[in-house]
Amino acid sequence: MSLRVDPVRGVVLVLPSRARLSDARIFLRTHRDWLIERLHRLPQSIALTPGATVPLLGQDHLIRHHPEARRGVWRQDGEIHVSGHIDHVPRRVVDFLKAEARRLMVAKAHELAARIDRKPSRISVKDTVSRWGSCSAQGAIALSWRLVMAPDWVATYVVGHEVAHLVELNHSPAFWAVVTSLGVDHHGARTWLKTNGAHLHRYQAE
């Protein structure tokens, strides 16, 4: 058995195929103090409410609420403005960020794919947890909408990484040669995501 605390998924308990549930309970009780201590170390979630700040392309934006306005959500002068009822602000901010991610990253994926004479069969933007992006054998690319909160060069790397899989569906030297040919900063971006990636999952609509 193994037990760890993931900054995104929380408590992760891995059991052997023949393990009994009763053994798992005993294992958890045995490591209760360790588990509580690790959970207390996790960064707290950030609610996307008026007055909070949320990064967009790596730059913090203050969330401002305009209850009487009828403009939906808009970005202006380093701020994200939200109209309507205050209870709807967090969800509207998330929807705005997802739309921005879809607009920016889908265009970037097509642009990079064209450089290597490839075309994705589909590009989707999701709230992925374990990976920032993926590419199927059929050429379907999936990307995390949370990348829109990272600096543009970081998001561009992830997009380029998945686009490169349209040529090499592996992580061989040939694959990394394709990534390099796309001109993305894979060393710096991978370091940034390893250091800061979990922070992007702190922002929640609820």
CATH number at residue 196: 3.30.2010.10
Alpha-carbon span 75 to 96, nearest angstrom: 9
Please count the other Cβ atoms lying within 10 Å of the Cβ belonging to residue 11.
12
Number of domains, the chain: 2
Within a domain: residue 187?
Answer: yes
Within a domain: residue 33?
Answer: yes
Domain extent, residue 149, equals 100-204
Within a domain: residue 176?
Answer: yes
Within a domain: residue 71?
Answer: no
Same domain, 32 and 109: no
Q: What is the pLDDT along the chain (206 residues), one digit of tens a residue?
A: 888 877 666 788 888 888 888 888 888 888 888 888 877 776 678 999 999 999 999 999 999 999 999 889 999 999 999 999 999 999 999 999 999 999 999 999 999 999 999 999 999 999 987 799 999 999 999 999 999 999 999 999 999 999 999 999 999 999 999 999 999 999 999 999 999 998 898 898 86
Within a domain: residue 29?
Answer: yes
Same domain, 196 and 114: yes
User: How many residues are recorded in the chain?
Assistant: 206
Same domain, 35 and 105: no
Same domain, 37 and 106: no
Total-model pTM:
0.82
Alpha-carbon span 98 to 111, nearest angstrom: 20
Same domain, 32 and 105: no
Within a domain: residue 79?
Answer: no
Within a domain: residue 57?
Answer: no
Same domain, 106 and 200: yes
